[in-house]
Amino acid sequence: MVVGPRSPIVWHREGELMLRLVGAQLNNSVRRSSVFTATGRQSMAPGAFAAAGALQRDARPIRNGGYQLQMQANIVDYLAAARCPLPIVPRMMQSPTLKEFQTIFKFLVQDFTDATNFGKKFEDEALGILKDLRYPNMEGMGKTAFSAPGSPSHWLYMTAMLNWLVELNKVRRSSID
Task: Give yes or no for residue 140 having a pLDDT over 60.
Answer: yes
State which CATH number among 1.10.418.30, 1.25.40.10, 3.40.50.80, 3.40.50.2300 fits the domain covering 65-176: 1.10.418.30
Please state the rounded mean pLDDT for residues 13-19: 41
How far apart (Å, rounded) are the C-alpha atoms in residues 170 and 174? 6
Domain limits, the chain: 1-40, 65-176
Q: What is the pLDDT of residue 137?
A: 82
Task: Give yes or no for residue 92 having a pLDDT over 50.
Answer: yes
How far apart (Å, rounded) are the C-alpha atoms in residues 106 and 163? 14
Q: Which helix (H) or strand (E) holds 18?
A: strand 16-19
pLDDT in tens, 156-168: 889 999 999 999 9
Q: What is the pLDDT of residue 18?
A: 41
Sign of the CA dihedral running 123, 126, 128, 130: negative
Angle at the Cα of 97 from the Cα atoms of 148 and 124, rounded to 5 degrees? 45
**Residue scoring higher pLDDT (5 or 52):** 5
How far apart (Å, rounded) are the C-alpha atoms in residues 79 and 90? 11
User: What percentage of residues in the chain have a pLDDT greater than 70?
Assistant: 64
Q: What is the pLDDT of residue 32?
A: 53
Task: Give yes or no for residue 171 having a pLDDT over 80.
Answer: yes
Assign 1 a pLDDT band (cuts: 50, 70, 90): very low
